[in-house]
Structure 1
Protein backbone atom coordinates (compact mmCIF):
# COMPACT_ATOMS: atom_id res chain seq x y z
CA UNK A 1 0.00 0.00 0.00
CA UNK A 2 1.20 3.50 -0.84
CA UNK A 3 -0.02 6.60 1.02
CA UNK A 4 0.38 9.79 -0.97
CA UNK A 5 1.23 12.99 0.90
CA UNK A 6 0.33 16.53 -0.18
CA UNK A 7 1.28 19.84 1.29
CA UNK A 8 -1.49 22.29 2.15
CA UNK A 9 -1.57 26.08 2.33
CA UNK A 10 -1.10 25.63 6.09
CA UNK A 11 2.56 24.69 6.67
CA UNK A 12 1.63 22.92 9.92
CA UNK A 13 -0.76 20.56 8.11
CA UNK A 14 -0.15 17.72 5.67
CA UNK A 15 -2.83 15.87 3.73
CA UNK A 16 -2.45 12.08 3.56
CA UNK A 17 -4.23 10.15 0.78
CA UNK A 18 -4.39 6.40 1.43
CA UNK A 19 -5.88 5.67 -2.01
CA UNK A 20 -9.12 4.38 -0.53
CA UNK A 21 -12.27 5.66 1.11
CA UNK A 22 -11.67 7.10 4.58
CA UNK A 23 -15.26 8.24 5.33
CA UNK A 24 -18.32 7.46 3.23
CA UNK A 25 -19.85 10.87 3.93
CA UNK A 26 -19.16 14.00 5.92
CA UNK A 27 -16.02 14.84 7.81
CA UNK A 28 -14.84 14.38 11.36
CA UNK A 29 -12.39 16.70 13.10
CA UNK A 30 -10.51 16.00 16.32
CA UNK A 31 -8.83 18.86 18.18
CA UNK A 32 -7.83 17.06 21.37
CA UNK A 33 -6.87 13.61 22.63
CA UNK A 34 -10.18 13.51 24.53
CA UNK A 35 -12.18 13.95 21.32
CA UNK A 36 -9.98 11.31 19.69
CA UNK A 37 -11.31 8.62 22.02
CA UNK A 38 -14.01 8.05 19.38
CA UNK A 39 -11.41 6.79 16.90
CA UNK A 40 -8.52 4.37 17.42
CA UNK A 41 -6.73 5.98 14.45
CA UNK A 42 -7.09 9.49 15.86
CA UNK A 43 -5.93 8.23 19.28
CA UNK A 44 -2.82 6.71 17.74
CA UNK A 45 -2.01 9.92 15.89
CA UNK A 46 -2.46 12.08 19.00
CA UNK A 47 -0.22 9.69 20.93
CA UNK A 48 2.71 11.00 18.88
CA UNK A 49 2.62 14.12 21.06
CA UNK A 50 3.07 16.83 18.43
CA UNK A 51 -0.32 16.36 16.73
CA UNK A 52 -2.82 19.15 17.47
CA UNK A 53 -5.63 18.42 14.99
CA UNK A 54 -6.83 15.60 12.75
CA UNK A 55 -9.48 15.78 10.04
CA UNK A 56 -10.96 12.72 8.34
CA UNK A 57 -12.39 13.50 4.90
CA UNK A 58 -13.84 11.36 2.13
CA UNK A 59 -10.48 10.18 0.80
CA UNK A 60 -7.94 11.89 3.01
CA UNK A 61 -6.65 12.41 6.53
CA UNK A 62 -5.24 15.85 7.37
CA UNK A 63 -2.86 16.07 10.30
CA UNK A 64 -1.73 19.31 11.94
CA UNK A 65 1.33 19.48 14.17
CA UNK A 66 2.17 21.91 16.96
CA UNK A 67 4.17 25.09 16.45
CA UNK A 68 7.86 24.26 16.66
CA UNK A 69 7.35 20.64 15.60
CA UNK A 70 8.99 19.56 12.34
CA UNK A 71 7.32 17.50 9.64
CA UNK A 72 10.68 15.89 8.89
CA UNK A 73 10.42 14.23 12.32
CA UNK A 74 6.63 13.64 12.45
CA UNK A 75 5.87 12.53 8.89
CA UNK A 76 7.46 9.03 9.06
CA UNK A 77 5.60 8.32 12.32
CA UNK A 78 2.28 9.55 10.93
CA UNK A 79 2.75 7.49 7.78
CA UNK A 80 3.54 4.37 9.83
CA UNK A 81 0.36 4.76 11.89
CA UNK A 82 -1.78 5.40 8.81
CA UNK A 83 -0.22 2.47 6.95
CA UNK A 84 -0.82 0.10 9.88
CA UNK A 85 -4.42 1.28 10.16
CA UNK A 86 -5.36 0.96 6.49
CA UNK A 87 -3.47 -2.30 5.86
CA UNK A 88 -5.14 -3.93 8.87
CA UNK A 89 -8.54 -2.60 7.78
CA UNK A 90 -9.22 -1.59 11.38
CA UNK A 91 -12.44 0.33 12.03
CA UNK A 92 -12.11 4.11 11.85
CA UNK A 93 -14.36 4.60 14.87
CA UNK A 94 -14.79 2.81 18.18
CA UNK A 95 -18.05 0.90 18.50
CA UNK A 96 -20.89 3.16 19.62
CA UNK A 97 -19.05 6.44 19.00
CA UNK A 98 -20.43 9.35 16.98
CA UNK A 99 -18.95 9.05 13.51
CA UNK A 100 -19.89 11.81 11.10
CA UNK A 101 -19.89 15.21 12.72
CA UNK A 102 -20.46 17.67 9.94
CA UNK A 103 -22.34 20.29 11.94
CA UNK A 104 -21.09 21.30 15.38
CA UNK A 105 -23.37 20.97 18.37
CA UNK A 106 -26.13 23.57 18.45
CA UNK A 107 -24.95 26.83 19.89
CA UNK A 108 -27.66 29.21 21.07
CA UNK A 109 -25.54 32.18 19.93
CA UNK A 110 -25.74 30.93 16.33
CA UNK A 111 -29.41 29.90 16.19
CA UNK A 112 -30.94 30.88 12.85
CA UNK A 113 -34.10 32.97 12.64
CA UNK A 114 -36.87 30.83 11.09
CA UNK A 115 -37.77 33.85 8.92
CA UNK A 116 -34.36 33.44 7.22
CA UNK A 117 -34.95 29.77 6.30
CA UNK A 118 -34.78 30.36 2.53
CA UNK A 119 -31.60 32.44 2.78
CA UNK A 120 -30.00 29.88 5.10
CA UNK A 121 -30.84 27.09 2.65
CA UNK A 122 -29.14 29.00 -0.20
CA UNK A 123 -26.06 29.62 1.95
CA UNK A 124 -25.84 25.97 3.01
CA UNK A 125 -26.24 24.81 -0.59
CA UNK A 126 -23.38 27.06 -1.75
CA UNK A 127 -21.15 25.87 1.07
CA UNK A 128 -21.93 22.22 0.35
CA UNK A 129 -21.59 22.37 -3.45
CA UNK A 130 -18.92 25.04 -4.04
CA UNK A 131 -16.93 25.77 -0.88
CA UNK A 132 -16.46 22.43 0.90
CA UNK A 133 -15.15 20.58 -2.19
CA UNK A 134 -12.62 23.36 -2.83
CA UNK A 135 -11.25 23.44 0.71
CA UNK A 136 -11.23 19.62 0.87
CA UNK A 137 -8.69 19.75 -1.97
CA UNK A 138 -6.43 21.61 0.47
CA UNK A 139 -7.06 19.15 3.31
CA UNK A 140 -9.62 21.23 5.17
CA UNK A 141 -13.31 21.68 5.75
CA UNK A 142 -15.66 24.56 6.41
CA UNK A 143 -18.82 24.07 8.43
CA UNK A 144 -21.85 26.35 8.54
CA UNK A 145 -22.52 27.67 12.06
CA UNK A 146 -25.23 30.27 11.56
CA UNK A 147 -26.67 33.37 9.88
CA UNK A 148 -27.70 36.46 11.77
CA UNK A 149 -28.15 40.12 10.81
CA UNK A 150 -26.54 39.64 7.40
CA UNK A 151 -23.50 37.80 8.79
CA UNK A 152 -22.68 34.16 7.97
CA UNK A 153 -20.65 32.34 10.64
CA UNK A 154 -18.40 29.49 9.48
CA UNK A 155 -16.02 27.18 11.33
CA UNK A 156 -12.78 26.23 9.61
CA UNK A 157 -11.30 22.78 10.24
CA UNK A 158 -8.28 20.73 9.25
CA UNK A 159 -5.73 22.55 7.11
CA UNK A 160 -8.01 25.61 7.04
CA UNK A 161 -7.88 26.02 10.81
CA UNK A 162 -4.94 28.23 11.66
CA UNK A 163 -3.78 28.52 8.06
CA UNK A 164 -1.95 31.79 7.35
CA UNK A 165 -4.15 32.35 4.28
CA UNK A 166 -7.44 31.40 5.99
CA UNK A 167 -8.53 35.00 6.51
CA UNK A 168 -7.94 35.78 2.85
CA UNK A 169 -9.78 32.63 1.81
CA UNK A 170 -12.69 33.48 4.07
CA UNK A 171 -12.96 37.14 3.08
CA UNK A 172 -11.83 37.22 -0.55
CA UNK A 173 -13.02 33.84 -1.70
CA UNK A 174 -15.92 32.54 0.34
CA UNK A 175 -17.45 35.90 1.28
CA UNK A 176 -17.32 37.10 -2.34
CA UNK A 177 -18.93 33.91 -3.61
CA UNK A 178 -21.74 33.89 -1.06
CA UNK A 179 -22.46 37.62 -1.40
CA UNK A 180 -22.63 37.22 -5.17
CA UNK A 181 -25.36 34.58 -4.99
CA UNK A 182 -27.10 35.64 -1.77
CA UNK A 183 -27.42 39.46 -1.67
CA UNK A 184 -28.81 39.35 1.88
CA UNK A 185 -25.32 38.40 3.11
CA UNK A 186 -23.16 41.36 4.10
CA UNK A 187 -20.22 39.55 5.67
CA UNK A 188 -18.71 36.15 6.45
CA UNK A 189 -16.91 35.59 9.77
CA UNK A 190 -15.02 32.73 11.33
CA UNK A 191 -16.82 31.26 14.33
Structure 2
Protein backbone atom coordinates (compact mmCIF):
# COMPACT_ATOMS: atom_id res chain seq x y z
CA UNK A 1 0.00 0.00 0.00
CA UNK A 2 1.25 3.46 -0.97
CA UNK A 3 2.51 5.56 1.91
CA UNK A 4 0.30 8.64 2.13
CA UNK A 5 1.96 11.96 2.90
CA UNK A 6 0.26 15.22 3.82
CA UNK A 7 1.69 18.66 3.15
CA UNK A 8 0.36 21.98 4.41
CA UNK A 9 -0.69 24.77 2.02
CA UNK A 10 -1.81 28.25 3.02
CA UNK A 11 -4.80 29.93 1.39
CA UNK A 12 -5.79 33.55 0.80
CA UNK A 13 -7.93 33.30 3.94
CA UNK A 14 -5.61 33.16 6.95
CA UNK A 15 -8.19 31.20 8.97
CA UNK A 16 -8.18 28.36 6.43
CA UNK A 17 -5.35 26.02 5.51
CA UNK A 18 -5.28 22.98 3.24
CA UNK A 19 -3.84 19.58 4.10
CA UNK A 20 -2.93 18.19 0.69
CA UNK A 21 -2.54 14.45 0.11
CA UNK A 22 -0.41 12.67 -2.48
CA UNK A 23 -3.29 10.23 -2.87
CA UNK A 24 -7.03 10.53 -3.67
CA UNK A 25 -9.15 11.12 -0.57
CA UNK A 26 -12.67 11.06 -2.06
CA UNK A 27 -13.95 10.24 -5.53
CA UNK A 28 -17.29 12.04 -5.80
CA UNK A 29 -16.78 15.76 -5.83
CA UNK A 30 -16.37 17.85 -2.68
CA UNK A 31 -18.00 18.04 0.72
CA UNK A 32 -18.49 20.81 3.26
CA UNK A 33 -19.29 20.32 6.94
CA UNK A 34 -20.25 23.20 9.22
CA UNK A 35 -20.64 21.17 12.41
CA UNK A 36 -20.37 17.67 13.82
CA UNK A 37 -24.02 16.85 13.10
CA UNK A 38 -23.53 17.39 9.36
CA UNK A 39 -20.63 14.90 9.41
CA UNK A 40 -22.70 11.80 10.10
CA UNK A 41 -21.24 10.10 7.03
CA UNK A 42 -17.67 10.72 8.18
CA UNK A 43 -16.35 9.46 11.49
CA UNK A 44 -13.03 11.12 10.77
CA UNK A 45 -14.52 14.58 10.16
CA UNK A 46 -16.49 14.20 13.38
CA UNK A 47 -13.17 13.44 15.06
CA UNK A 48 -11.75 16.70 13.68
CA UNK A 49 -14.69 18.65 15.13
CA UNK A 50 -13.69 17.48 18.60
CA UNK A 51 -10.72 19.82 18.24
CA UNK A 52 -12.05 23.01 19.88
CA UNK A 53 -10.64 25.35 17.25
CA UNK A 54 -12.21 23.64 14.21
CA UNK A 55 -14.98 25.75 12.69
CA UNK A 56 -15.54 24.16 9.25
CA UNK A 57 -14.15 21.22 7.31
CA UNK A 58 -13.97 20.93 3.50
CA UNK A 59 -13.09 17.60 1.91
CA UNK A 60 -12.11 17.47 -1.77
CA UNK A 61 -10.45 14.94 -4.08
CA UNK A 62 -6.92 15.33 -2.73
CA UNK A 63 -7.11 17.70 0.22
CA UNK A 64 -8.86 18.52 3.46
CA UNK A 65 -9.27 22.22 4.23
CA UNK A 66 -10.06 23.37 7.75
CA UNK A 67 -11.26 26.76 8.92
CA UNK A 68 -10.32 27.65 12.49
CA UNK A 69 -11.84 29.84 15.16
CA UNK A 70 -9.73 32.76 16.33
CA UNK A 71 -8.86 31.12 19.64
CA UNK A 72 -5.62 29.77 18.14
CA UNK A 73 -3.16 30.52 15.35
CA UNK A 74 -2.52 27.85 12.73
CA UNK A 75 1.21 27.86 13.35
CA UNK A 76 0.53 26.56 16.87
CA UNK A 77 -1.62 23.58 15.86
CA UNK A 78 -1.20 22.81 12.16
CA UNK A 79 1.50 20.18 12.58
CA UNK A 80 -0.63 18.30 15.11
CA UNK A 81 -3.56 18.29 12.68
CA UNK A 82 -1.34 17.30 9.74
CA UNK A 83 -0.04 14.31 11.69
CA UNK A 84 -3.57 13.29 12.69
CA UNK A 85 -4.85 13.41 9.10
CA UNK A 86 -1.83 11.58 7.73
CA UNK A 87 -2.10 8.81 10.34
CA UNK A 88 -5.80 8.28 9.61
CA UNK A 89 -5.34 8.13 5.84
CA UNK A 90 -2.57 5.57 6.22
CA UNK A 91 -4.97 3.22 8.02
CA UNK A 92 -6.78 2.77 4.72
CA UNK A 93 -10.15 3.73 6.18
CA UNK A 94 -12.57 5.85 4.15
CA UNK A 95 -12.80 9.54 5.01
CA UNK A 96 -16.37 9.81 3.64
CA UNK A 97 -18.98 7.09 3.26
CA UNK A 98 -19.79 8.22 -0.26
CA UNK A 99 -22.68 5.87 -0.84
CA UNK A 100 -24.79 8.26 1.24
CA UNK A 101 -25.56 10.78 -1.49
CA UNK A 102 -27.96 12.73 0.71
CA UNK A 103 -25.07 13.75 2.92
CA UNK A 104 -22.93 15.06 0.10
CA UNK A 105 -22.73 18.82 -0.21
CA UNK A 106 -21.09 20.93 -2.82
CA UNK A 107 -18.45 23.13 -1.23
CA UNK A 108 -20.14 26.49 -1.79
CA UNK A 109 -19.32 29.57 0.22
CA UNK A 110 -21.30 32.80 0.35
CA UNK A 111 -19.89 35.89 2.03
CA UNK A 112 -21.53 39.23 2.75
CA UNK A 113 -19.87 42.57 2.04
CA UNK A 114 -21.05 46.09 2.74
CA UNK A 115 -21.12 48.47 -0.21
CA UNK A 116 -20.88 52.27 -0.52
CA UNK A 117 -24.67 52.20 -0.88
CA UNK A 118 -26.14 51.68 2.63
CA UNK A 119 -29.30 50.15 1.12
CA UNK A 120 -27.35 47.44 -0.72
CA UNK A 121 -25.45 44.38 0.53
CA UNK A 122 -23.22 42.29 -1.74
CA UNK A 123 -23.29 38.50 -1.38
CA UNK A 124 -20.30 36.96 -3.12
CA UNK A 125 -19.95 33.27 -3.99
CA UNK A 126 -17.30 30.83 -5.17
CA UNK A 127 -19.90 29.43 -7.59
CA UNK A 128 -20.39 30.93 -11.05
CA UNK A 129 -23.90 32.39 -11.16
CA UNK A 130 -24.42 33.88 -14.62
CA UNK A 131 -22.59 34.85 -17.80
CA UNK A 132 -24.85 37.89 -18.29
CA UNK A 133 -25.64 40.43 -15.59
CA UNK A 134 -29.33 40.73 -14.79
CA UNK A 135 -31.19 43.31 -12.70
CA UNK A 136 -34.67 42.61 -11.32
CA UNK A 137 -36.60 45.58 -9.98
CA UNK A 138 -39.62 43.67 -8.67
CA UNK A 139 -41.09 40.20 -8.19
CA UNK A 140 -43.01 40.39 -11.49
CA UNK A 141 -39.73 40.62 -13.40
CA UNK A 142 -38.24 37.88 -11.23
CA UNK A 143 -41.21 35.57 -11.97
CA UNK A 144 -40.29 35.62 -15.64
CA UNK A 145 -36.52 35.44 -15.48
CA UNK A 146 -34.97 34.33 -12.18
CA UNK A 147 -36.26 31.77 -9.67
CA UNK A 148 -33.49 32.82 -7.27
CA UNK A 149 -34.53 36.48 -7.41
CA UNK A 150 -38.18 35.43 -7.02
CA UNK A 151 -37.25 33.54 -3.86
CA UNK A 152 -35.34 36.55 -2.52
CA UNK A 153 -38.35 38.80 -3.13
CA UNK A 154 -40.15 36.50 -0.70
CA UNK A 155 -38.34 38.42 2.05
CA UNK A 156 -40.57 41.46 2.73
CA UNK A 157 -37.61 43.84 3.03
CA UNK A 158 -36.06 43.00 -0.38
CA UNK A 159 -36.58 45.81 -2.89
CA UNK A 160 -34.30 44.91 -5.86
CA UNK A 161 -31.93 42.11 -6.89
CA UNK A 162 -28.89 42.30 -9.17
CA UNK A 163 -27.13 39.07 -10.20
CA UNK A 164 -23.64 39.15 -11.67
CA UNK A 165 -20.96 36.59 -12.49
CA UNK A 166 -20.11 35.60 -8.92
CA UNK A 167 -22.16 37.83 -6.64
CA UNK A 168 -25.68 39.01 -5.86
CA UNK A 169 -26.44 42.56 -4.77
CA UNK A 170 -29.63 42.91 -2.75
CA UNK A 171 -31.30 46.29 -2.21
CA UNK A 172 -33.49 46.54 0.89
CA UNK A 173 -36.29 48.80 2.01
CA UNK A 174 -35.61 51.02 5.02
CA UNK A 175 -37.85 48.92 7.29
CA UNK A 176 -34.82 46.94 8.55
CA UNK A 177 -31.09 47.38 9.05
CA UNK A 178 -28.65 45.06 7.32
CA UNK A 179 -27.11 43.91 10.59
CA UNK A 180 -30.53 42.45 11.48
CA UNK A 181 -31.05 40.41 8.32
CA UNK A 182 -27.86 39.86 6.31
CA UNK A 183 -27.04 36.54 7.97
CA UNK A 184 -30.49 35.22 7.07
CA UNK A 185 -30.05 36.25 3.42
CA UNK A 186 -26.50 34.85 3.28
CA UNK A 187 -27.65 31.50 4.66
CA UNK A 188 -30.62 31.40 2.30
CA UNK A 189 -28.50 32.06 -0.80
CA UNK A 190 -25.91 29.49 0.25
CA UNK A 191 -28.53 26.78 0.78
CA UNK A 192 -30.20 27.67 -2.53
CA UNK A 193 -26.90 27.31 -4.40
CA UNK A 194 -25.98 24.10 -2.59
CA UNK A 195 -29.30 22.60 -3.64
CA UNK A 196 -28.31 23.39 -7.24
CA UNK A 197 -31.58 25.18 -7.93
CA UNK A 198 -32.09 27.31 -11.02
CA UNK A 199 -30.58 30.79 -10.74
CA UNK A 200 -31.67 32.38 -14.03
CA UNK A 201 -34.22 30.77 -16.32
CA UNK A 202 -34.11 33.37 -19.10
CA UNK A 203 -32.12 36.50 -19.92
CA UNK A 204 -34.48 39.43 -20.61
CA UNK A 205 -33.27 41.30 -23.69
CA UNK A 206 -34.21 44.68 -22.29
CA UNK A 207 -32.21 43.93 -19.11
CA UNK A 208 -29.03 42.67 -20.74
CA UNK A 209 -26.14 45.03 -20.18
CA UNK A 210 -24.53 47.15 -22.83
CA UNK A 211 -22.05 44.95 -24.59
CA UNK A 212 -24.92 42.54 -25.27
CA UNK A 213 -27.40 45.35 -25.89
CA UNK A 214 -25.29 47.45 -28.24
CA UNK A 215 -23.32 45.68 -30.93
CA UNK A 216 -19.86 47.18 -31.31
CA UNK A 217 -20.34 46.88 -35.07
CA UNK A 218 -22.84 49.73 -34.78
CA UNK A 219 -20.62 51.97 -32.64
CA UNK A 220 -18.39 54.77 -33.81
CA UNK A 221 -14.69 54.74 -32.97
CA UNK A 222 -15.05 56.88 -29.83
CA UNK A 223 -17.89 54.75 -28.47
CA UNK A 224 -15.81 51.60 -28.94
CA UNK A 225 -12.96 53.21 -26.98
CA UNK A 226 -15.38 54.25 -24.21
CA UNK A 227 -16.68 50.68 -23.89
CA UNK A 228 -13.10 49.35 -23.75
CA UNK A 229 -12.14 51.83 -21.01
CA UNK A 230 -15.25 51.02 -18.97
CA UNK A 231 -14.59 47.28 -19.28
CA UNK A 232 -10.90 47.44 -18.40
CA UNK A 233 -10.70 50.18 -15.78
CA UNK A 234 -14.14 50.94 -14.36
CA UNK A 235 -16.17 47.74 -14.20
CA UNK A 236 -13.76 45.74 -12.00
CA UNK A 237 -13.73 48.56 -9.45
CA UNK A 238 -17.50 48.98 -9.24
CA UNK A 239 -18.02 45.19 -9.26
CA UNK A 240 -15.91 44.94 -6.11
CA UNK A 241 -18.49 47.23 -4.50
CA UNK A 242 -21.42 45.13 -5.72
CA UNK A 243 -22.34 47.31 -8.68
CA UNK A 244 -22.12 47.53 -12.44
CA UNK A 245 -21.80 50.27 -15.04
CA UNK A 246 -22.99 49.77 -18.59
CA UNK A 247 -22.47 51.94 -21.68
CA UNK A 248 -25.72 53.12 -23.26
CA UNK A 249 -24.80 55.80 -25.82
CA UNK A 250 -22.41 58.55 -26.94
CA UNK A 251 -23.40 61.74 -28.76
CA UNK A 252 -20.51 63.04 -30.88
CA UNK A 253 -22.21 66.43 -31.21
CA UNK A 254 -22.62 67.17 -27.51
CA UNK A 255 -19.79 64.75 -26.50
CA UNK A 256 -22.11 63.37 -23.82
CA UNK A 257 -21.79 59.78 -22.58
CA UNK A 258 -24.85 58.02 -21.16
CA UNK A 259 -24.34 55.05 -18.86
CA UNK A 260 -26.55 52.74 -16.82
CA UNK A 261 -25.82 52.14 -13.14
CA UNK A 262 -26.87 48.80 -11.66
CA UNK A 263 -26.69 46.90 -8.39
CA UNK A 264 -25.12 48.85 -5.55
CA UNK A 265 -24.34 51.75 -7.90
CA UNK A 266 -27.99 52.43 -8.64
CA UNK A 267 -29.28 55.06 -6.27
CA UNK A 268 -26.03 55.14 -4.32
CA UNK A 269 -25.46 58.48 -2.53
CA UNK A 270 -21.86 58.53 -3.76
CA UNK A 271 -22.67 57.61 -7.37
CA UNK A 272 -22.63 61.24 -8.53
CA UNK A 273 -19.17 61.74 -7.06
CA UNK A 274 -18.02 58.47 -8.66
CA UNK A 275 -19.38 59.58 -12.03
CA UNK A 276 -17.86 63.06 -11.96
CA UNK A 277 -14.59 62.55 -10.09
CA UNK A 278 -13.92 59.02 -11.28
CA UNK A 279 -15.44 57.93 -14.57
CA UNK A 280 -15.84 61.32 -16.21
CA UNK A 281 -12.36 62.41 -15.23
CA UNK A 282 -10.79 59.20 -16.52
CA UNK A 283 -12.62 59.34 -19.85
CA UNK A 284 -11.62 62.99 -20.35
CA UNK A 285 -7.98 62.14 -19.64
CA UNK A 286 -7.90 59.05 -21.84
CA UNK A 287 -9.99 60.56 -24.65
CA UNK A 288 -8.95 64.24 -24.68
CA UNK A 289 -11.35 66.72 -26.32
CA UNK A 290 -13.89 63.95 -26.97
CA UNK A 291 -15.83 63.90 -23.68
CA UNK A 292 -17.77 66.75 -22.11
CA UNK A 293 -19.99 64.95 -19.62
CA UNK A 294 -20.98 61.54 -18.31
CA UNK A 295 -24.61 61.09 -17.26
CA UNK A 296 -26.27 58.16 -15.53
CA UNK A 297 -29.63 57.85 -17.24
CA UNK A 298 -31.10 55.73 -14.45
CA UNK A 299 -28.98 56.82 -11.48
Please give the TM-score of this superposition, normalised by the length of structure 1.
0.87
Larger-gyration structure (1/2): 2
Residues 1:64 and 2:167 are matched in the alignment: no
Deviation per CA, 1:151-189: give whole Å up to 9, x if none. 101111101111111100011000001111112111101
* 8 Å Cα contact 1:9/1:159 also seen in 2: yes
Is the deviation greater in 130-139 or in 45-54?
45-54
- What SS is found at the alignment partner of 2:139? coil
Q: Which residue of 1 aligns with 2:275?
A: 170
Q: How does 1:178-189 map to 2 (within 5 A)?
A: 178-183=283-288, 184-189=290-295
* 8 Å Cα contact 1:131/1:174 also seen in 2: yes
Deviation per CA, 1:111-162: give whole Å up to 9, x if none. xxx7x70011001111111111110000000111111121101111101111
Q: Which residue of 2 aligns with 1:9?
A: 116
* 8 Å Cα contact 2:129/2:164 also seen in 1: yes
Q: Which residue among 7, 29, 32 is the counterpart of 2:138?
A: 32
Partner Cα distance (2:211, 2:235) in 1: 15
In the TM superposition, residue 106 of structure 1 has moved relative to its aligned partner by 7.0
Q: Which residue of 2 aligns with 1:150?
A: 255
- What SS is found at the alignment partner of 1:34? helix
Is the deviation greater in 141-150 or in 71-80?
71-80
Deviation per CA, 1:87-113: give whole Å up to 9, x if none. 10112122xx22682239979xxxxxx
Name the CA shift for 1:105/1:35 in 2 (closer, same or farther; >3 Å): farther
Name the CA shift for 1:11/1:46 in 2 (closer, same or farther; >3 Å): same
Q: Which residue of 2 aligns with 1:136?
A: 239
Q: Give the gaps of 5 or more residues in structure 1.
A: 108-113
Q: How does 1:1-150 map to 2 (within 5 A)?
A: 1-23=108-130, 25-37=131-143, 38-94=145-201, 97-98=202-203, 101-103=208-210, 117-148=220-251, 149-150=254-255
In the TM superposition, residue 79 of structure 1 has moved relative to its aligned partner by 1.9
- State the structure with bigger RCO (CA 8 A, min sep 6), 1 or 2: 1
Partner Cα distance (1:53, 1:127) in 2: 24
Partner Cα distance (2:165, 2:211) in 1: 18
**Aligned alpha-carbon RMSD (Å):** 2.3
- What SS is found at the alignment partner of 2:185? helix
* 8 Å Cα contact 1:104/1:145 also seen in 2: no
Please give the TM-score of this superposition, normalised by the length of structure 2.
0.57
Partner Cα distance (2:220, 2:189) in 1: 41
Is the deviation greater in 70-79 or in 130-139?
70-79
Name the CA shift for 1:20/1:73 in 2 (closer, same or farther; >3 Å): same
How many pairs were matched up?
Answer: 182
Question: Would you identify which runs of 4 or more consecutive aligned residues in structure 1 move more than 2 Å?
Answer: 103-107
Partner Cα distance (1:140, 1:58) in 2: 11
Partner Cα distance (1:41, 1:16) in 2: 13
In the TM superposition, residue 68 of structure 1 has moved relative to its aligned partner by 3.5
